Structure 1
Amino acid sequence: MYQSLIILHSLVRWFVLISLLVAIIRAYSGWLGNKRFLKTDNTARMAAVTIAHVQLVIGISLYIISPAVRYFMNNFKEAVHQREFRFFGMEHITMMVVAITLLTIGSAKSKRKTTDLQKFKTMAIWFTIALLVIFFSIPWHFSPFTSRPYFRWY
């Protein structure tokens, strides 16, 4: 179960990033191009947030059963000084929850705006900030915090 969730989490990360990039590109294009907020823009907004929430559920499930997190919790005084255990036990989950919160707030605020320009601008700003938090919290192969492969397989 754990290995399957790791692989799924690794795969869904790409869907999160792609859907978020599409939503951000549409938001900046609409904002800077003074375009109408179309059903397609709303779908991009909702898809990015929905996929991110699915990823969060997978991530929380992983957090609950992870041997690394279990070690971190059971040996906190020592583990907090070990980069990889601290990253997965504390930093990764905290920053990802913050990012999903930013996405959710940005989506809700954008939805409630009355003009198309305000919708695009709100979505662009909040989603960009969330993307930056996500990008710096992913254990990329080149990350200084801890690294994981771009794709996980069995």
Structure 2
Amino acid sequence: MYSTLLTLHSLTRWPVLGSLLFALFWAYRGWLLNKEFTTFDDRVRTIATSFAHIQFVLGLCLYFISPIVSYFLHNFGTAVHERVIRFFGMEHVTMMIIAVGIITVGSGKAKRLKTDKEKFKTMAVWFTIALLVILSSIPWSFSPLISRPNFRWF
């Protein structure tokens, strides 16, 4: 179960990043070019938010069955000084909760605004902040601090 969830969580990062990047492109385009906020634009917002929520649920499930997190929680005094253990036990989960919260708030605010320009601007700003948090907290294969494969297979 752990390896399946780990693989799903790893692979789902790509739809999350892709949908966020597309939503950002679309939001900046709509904002800067004064486009009308259409049903398609609302779907882009919803899809990006939904992928983030799916990833969050997978990550949360993974958090509670991970042997790394279990070690972190049961040996906090020593584990907090071990970079990899601390990253997965505390840093990664905290930053991703913040990022999903930012996406959720930004999506909700954009949904409720009256003018098209405000909707696009709100999406652009909040999703940009969330994307930066996400990018800083993914254990990329090229990271000198925490390195994990970019693609895990079953």
Indicate whether the TM-score tops 0.5. yes
- Counterpart for residue 46 of structure 2: 46
Instruction: Give RMSD over aligned pairs.
Output: 0.7
- Counterpart for residue 119 of structure 1: 119
Amino acid aligned to 1:107: S
Amino acid aligned to 2:59: G
* TM-score (normalised: structure 1): 0.98
**Number of aligned residue pairs:** 154
- Counterpart for residue 82 of structure 1: 82
Give, in angstroms, the shift of residue 16 of structure 1: 0.3
* TM-score (normalised: structure 2): 0.98
Is 1:37 matched up with 2:66? no
CA distance in 2, matches of 1:77, 1:136: 25
Q: Deviations over 1:19-51 (max 9, x none)?
A: 111111000000001110111110010000011
- Counterpart for residue 144 of structure 2: 144
- Counterpart for residue 6 of structure 2: 6
Amino acid aligned to 2:115: T
Secondary structure of the residue aligned to 1:17 is helix
Is 1:96 matched up with 2:92? no
Which segments of 5 or more consecutive residues in structure 1 lack a partner in the other structure? none
Is the Cα contact below 8 Å between 1:72 and 1:89 reproduced in 2?
yes
Q: Deviations over 1:58-89 (max 9, x none)?
A: 00000000000000011111110000000000
Secondary structure of the residue aligned to 2:8 is helix
CA distance in 2, matches of 1:89, 1:18: 26
Aligned pairs for 1:59-74 (under 5 A) are 59-74=59-74
Is the Cα contact below 8 Å between 1:69 and 1:89 reproduced in 2?
yes
Percent of paired sites with the same residue: 60
CA distance in 2, matches of 1:144, 1:110: 37
Between stretches 142-151 and 129-138, larger displacement belongs to 142-151
Q: Deviations over 1:99-122 (max 9, x none)?
A: 000000000100111000000000
CA distance in 2, matches of 1:145, 1:106: 30
Which segments of 5 or more consecutive residues in structure 2 lack a partner in the other structure? none
CA distance in 1, matches of 2:153, 2:20: 24
Give, in angstroms, the shift of residue 144 of structure 1: 3.3
